[in-house]
Chains A and B, each alone.
Chain A
Amino acid sequence: MSRQTSRLDSKKVNSELLTLTYGALVTQIIRDFENIDDVNKQLERIGYNMGIRLIEDFLSRTASTRCLDMRETADKIQQAFRMYLNVQPTISNWAASADEFSLIFDTNPLTEFVELPADMSTLRFSGVLCGCIRGALEMVQLEVHCWFAQDQLKGDGTTEIRVKFIRRLEDAIPAGED
């Protein structure tokens, strides 16, 4: 032990591990599917699956209560990004009806070591994030649309995820109960 000059920083290693593992997964999916649209769908689906599990972790760690409006929801999403990916997106561009907003990222940890080749300009590399938001919100009875308005990988200055409220999902009442 004494020979080593510095210990590994576990926080940093873990974040790079996540980034690289995700990159390897995306590479594998691209290898498996020829069509980039299919790759995008897979990534969105994987994100969705992650979101429906992550929300449980989030609720148990933060003791959050149900959101009453989208502004509150936006704050919670921001908090979740801070907790889980250690990035602080800015919330802005509210629609006048307050049902649509943007999350602006200066940096995106998932794309830290990534450059998109020219023939993959339609690949939504971080599509998993959109899926994740959608999956997590669905578990708290919010149906949303989520998409990239800007992406640094495509040459934009920032990465912008747009979230639009669709409707509130009703609790399904088990058969035989009123």
Chain B
Amino acid sequence: MIESVFDILHYEVVKYSMGDENSSQQTNNTNLSTLEYIGFSTGYRLTERLTREWPRFRFKDDLETMKFICTDFWTSIYGKQIDNLRTNHKGVYVLQDNAFRFLVNISNNSQYLEEAPKFVAYTCGLVRGSLSNLGINSTVTAEVQNMPSCKFHIQVNSSNA
């Protein structure tokens, strides 16, 4: 039931990062990056903890690492696997979750769509932080067209390709 606590904490993290309702629209981007950063440092440290206890994960290539994120990592955090993983084999990966946990309780159509970025930014950071600890520098963005489905775009930075 720690999941309920985490859901509620996540909501408070979002609320805190967004500041007061009366804050101006201009600061919205910096607010999202705060949220993303909280996710990043969590993901980075969490992966540090996870990999400490097993023989260090040795993934053959980036794709293997992504598969790990989609299966074990996602299952242990969000209670389900990623529904679809696509890649162009040139460093772009698209992870699709058809019922993303933080969106499931909000809406199942396009209502509140404009609020969606707040509820996915933390997870973008979480994935980026985790990949970063596994040796992949990346940029992670999310795209929500219709709740509760969500696509995470991972662009592996070419510097470590």
Contacts and interface: CB of A to CB of B under 8 A. Distances in A.
Contact of A16 (B11, B39, B46): B46
B5 A85 contact: yes
Interface stretch (B48-56, B110-118, B131-139, B151-159): B48-56
Contacts of B8: 50, 53-54, 57
Interface string A9-42: 1110111111011111101110000000000001
Interface of A: 1, 4-11, 13-18, 20-25, 27-29, 42, 46, 49-50, 53-54, 57, 61, 83-86, 113
A13 B17 contact: no
A14 B77 contact: yes
Contact of A49 (B12, B41, B46): B12
Chain B interface mostly helix, strand, loop or mixed? helix
Q: Majority SS of interface residues in chain A?
A: helix
A5 B54 contact: yes
Contacts of A25: 9, 12-13, 16, 38
Interface stretch (B67-75, B85-93, B142-150): B67-75
B34 interface: yes
A28 B38 contact: yes
24 contacts: A1-B71, A4-B54, A5-B55, A8-B72, A8-B73, A8-B75, A9-B76, A10-B76, A11-B2, A13-B76, A14-B3, A18-B9, A20-B42, A21-B6, A21-B10, A21-B38, A28-B37, A46-B16, A49-B12, A50-B8, A53-B11, A54-B4, A57-B8, A83-B1
Nearest to A8: B76
Contacts of A14: 2-3, 6, 76-77
Interface in B70-109: 71-73, 75-77, 79
A13 B4 contact: no
A53 B1 CA distance: 14
Given A14-B77, A28-B34, A84 B4 contact: yes
Contacts of B45: 20, 23, 113
A86 B2 contact: yes
Q: Interface centre among A21, A23, A25, A85, by most B CB within 10 Å?
A: A21
